[in-house]
Amino acid sequence: MAYNKKEAQTKIQTLGSLMANKKYEEAWTSAGDLNAYLKVHKSEMSGSDYELINGTLKSFYAVNKQIETVGKRAFAMGKKAEGIQL
């Protein structure tokens, strides 16, 4: 299958929509799909298309790491609060 700019655009917009709607687990799957698409079609893309998709994926993975960190901190805070006795 050849590189299709519209298909790539749909994939990147889907990822954006999932993130905007806080559907992080679905976004993770979508990012994996986009990353696989990028790897397969890298040599066929224009440099600007590659940079836009790659930059979006880098941003996604950075934000995902922050979300995981916040989740761990919230869990720790919740456990600590559960153990409080007045």
Supply the pLDDT for residue 1.
77
Supply the pLDDT for residue 71.
95
Q: Which numeric CATH code is attached to 5-81?
A: 1.20.58
Supply the pLDDT for residue 21.
97
Question: pLDDT class for 57, splitting at 50, 70, 90?
Answer: very high
As a whole number of angstroms, the distance between CA 60 and CA 5 comes to: 20
Q: How big is the chain, counted in residues?
A: 86
Question: pLDDT class for 75, splitting at 50, 70, 90?
Answer: very high
Contact 34, 15 (CB under 8 A): yes
Whether 76 shows a pLDDT value over 80: the answer reads yes
Contact 63, 19 (CB under 8 A): yes
What digits encode the pLDDT tens for the residues 3-48? 999 999 999 999 999 999 999 999 999 999 999 999 999 999 999 9
